[in-house]
Structure 1
């Protein structure tokens, strides 16, 4: 727990989440919170919002911001309007309401500060359909209507790199406590983790102060590549935690003059970074896993859940791999999935069934990159499984051999992925026309921005040769 907020023993028992307005007042008062960050996750997963004094926060029951926050590209541009894109600069403000269960301190601020995630609504009180948190809630309502409780657990990979203030220079691993950067691959190495002990301690301390639960932290295959595993739980809560973890890890790294990056492919010579999503479903009425029958065998619903992923993930790739850089991760023999095969405890396929007890039977979606918006990628993965069960989609046979060099079904470019996304009627029904149109426009504008940049490869091989 951070000492900066001067919490007393009683207050220290409650690090995150209250149930309503009056409890929030007491929560903030006992901690002497001076400022509140009113946070909204945008389409890219970037925290947007306002900071205000605590007394100002309680003086009004509405927070307003322009609707453009959900139509902004990662470079800060806005897509050009077309017949299918619904945002225009003349659109009015949206209204934002706090979800008090997300209230927590901001332990890296020097003054006592809290953060609070908000949900977006129209002036008529309807949820904004393009807000990522609302997109996930829309999918969860489909599960609720069936009497199902989905359970997920994300695993998020990231790289630590030297500070990079000139984007023309490639990223490099940082120097650890030994005074040397990593040069080889150090998968699961404890000594490689120890190179950054002080930083990792800060990650744990900042996370604990916010009530965020880390299951494990390991060193991944790449040089200074780490992976954080979050404990399984409710999809919305875990999406909130993944969203907040990204910010926390960046802040912890900056304390040590290091950058933390969640780019899907940060360095050309190193493996990419993923966000694996473990998924299972509990029957609300019985409390039993929907994937496990009374004889402890896999149910048809389990296989249809896998079949749904195989069928719909190609069209969901703009969400799983949202940037041009994301597709650099999918290369033969790279450790990243290049196919949509499935198998038992097989890490060379895109869909893995980990070894577990029958009660813990689950599917691990290994396709998403760590650059994905956690709300949207969890919504998309659950949507694929839901459609698989509802439509009775059978998977192919499980693969037990090495498939790391097999390229199958996955789009190889962002443009190809966007075409498949907007062409799926089933996904249009799940996500809604406004979200699909807006997301499509954002991704196409980002692609145009990328195409305006001349790369080092082009200068190297084309300048004097063509």
Structure 2
């Protein structure tokens, strides 16, 4: 929509307010309502937003190791710009106008710690190589017949799943909860987060949705908004949705797989009809880049303690540095398809990611392979990828993955030193918080016996 029409819509909306939001490093949307007058005064310039959102964790606990902001800086406002191209109407809030924004520094340049700015940087990197990146993300998530209050009162134990049993691709279950299904599909579409598909997945109350592909920045915006929108729509039905990577050791984890392709003008640069497998040299280099970089940037794809409970053998999530054709046991699943559909699916990614960072990680690693002309020497895995150790395995804990990222020059080269340093510090903090916690496992194992 043209800028003048957007401003006219905002000016004439009877609510007299606008909702704006930014993402923190964990991918949590942080925002507020502002008056129409305030919006009109800053929409084509800049505004400010408290930089504490880069100074605390997902539980609003202040980091003690951050350099970007902290008690030592006084948590000032940081400059920000509202992106008018992200204009949406929130259909479950009387179509009030909504916008995403970016953080900038005092000189007006992109902030080094802003996740959305990181995606924009990778877009420019791709363009310099002559490519446009098209991405989409799919999510699996659990749904419970609970409220935030009831779940807290139960201490998140013995929650009631939306439906019982392991019933993937169930027509019955989608009929049983049809009002929720219908609202998800229609309201997300009205919110400009269109879905390609929505179905039940294996596990009690588990759903999976595939978001329609687009350019990478729009794809990342859609994915970020999808996670929050699903939770808000679920609230309307008395449902509590979670995108944790793993809620139980006895149930499959929740993936956030990312599909991606590079395009040169109107041609899919991943497709080569002359190749026996239908994939181009550029795609082979892109795959090689991801295989090489994955161990160095894994926290972008598995950012929490819980992420690594999902990355275990036989749980529909990869554990080895492998690739293969239409193989769901490997880290990188190649789908040659045809000149329109040829793409790569990165299956390492969990549902708990910050989509901006995960997509930036995929694109950055792939472009690294193209820039450096990496050969895909490792053969495609046929059969069980969990048993293919020819190229090594993924780091098994957040501590291991973060230490590897900190010691590597790859993340600094691809994403910049400012971002890499800040992100590593936040993951080190996350690990230290986990070490202090006394878990149910410890009580059950040690309370009586030791």
TM-score category (smaller protein): over 0.9
CA deviation string 1:342-390 (max 9, x = no partner)? 1111111111112512442211100000000010000001111001111
Query: Unaligned stretches of 5+ in structure 1?
Result: 1-17, 176-180
Match in the other structure for 1:182:
164
- Whether the 8 Å CA contact 2:55–2:68 is kept in 1: the answer is no
- Whether the 8 Å CA contact 1:172–1:267 is kept in 2: the answer is no
| C-alpha spacing 1:19/1:431, structure 2 compared with 1 (3 Å) | farther
Q: How do 1:272-351 residues align onto structure 2 when only pairs under 5 Å count?
A: 272-284=253-265, 287-293=266-272, 295=274, 297-351=278-332
Of residues 99-108 and 380-389 in structure 1, the stretch that sits farther from structure 2 once superposed is: 99-108
TM-score, structure 1 as length reference: 0.89
Pairing 1:217–2:204 present: no
SS at match of 2:49: strand
Aligned length: 437
> In the alignment, which of 329, 335, 353 is matched to residue 354 of structure 1?
335
The whole-number CA distance in structure 2 between the counterparts of 1:414 and 1:198 is 39
The whole-number CA distance in structure 2 between the counterparts of 1:229 and 1:249 is 13
CA deviation string 1:116-158 (max 9, x = no partner)? 1011111211111100000111111110111101111211111
The whole-number CA distance in structure 1 between the counterparts of 2:138 and 2:268 is 21
> In the alignment, which of 40, 53, 69 is matched to residue 87 of structure 1?
69
The whole-number CA distance in structure 1 between the counterparts of 2:273 and 2:439 is 58
Of residues 331-340 and 398-407 in structure 1, the stretch that sits farther from structure 2 once superposed is: 398-407
Q: How do 1:58-73 residues align onto structure 2 when only pairs under 5 Å count?
A: 58-60=40-42, 61-73=45-57
The whole-number CA distance in structure 2 between the counterparts of 1:204 and 1:283 is 32
Match in the other structure for 2:131:
148
Cα RMSD of the aligned pairs, angstroms, is 1.9
Match in the other structure for 2:349:
368
Match in the other structure for 2:103:
120
Off by >6 Å, runs of 4+ in structure 1 = none
The whole-number CA distance in structure 2 between the counterparts of 1:62 and 1:300 is 43
Match in the other structure for 2:114:
131
Query: Unaligned stretches of 5+ in structure 2?
Result: none
Match in the other structure for 2:383:
401
- Whether the 8 Å CA contact 1:173–1:223 is kept in 2: the answer is no
TM-score, structure 2 as length reference: 0.92
- Whether the 8 Å CA contact 1:174–1:258 is kept in 2: the answer is no
Give the C-alpha shift of residue 49 in structure 1: 2.3
SS at match of 2:78: strand
Give the C-alpha shift of residue 112 in structure 1: 5.2
Give the C-alpha shift of residue 71 in structure 1: 2.7
SS at match of 1:59: helix
The whole-number CA distance in structure 2 between the counterparts of 1:303 and 1:25 is 45
Match in the other structure for 2:82:
98
Match in the other structure for 1:380:
361
Match in the other structure for 2:430:
446
CA deviation string 1:403-457 (max 9, x = no partner)? 2456742011001010111222122022111111111111111222222210011
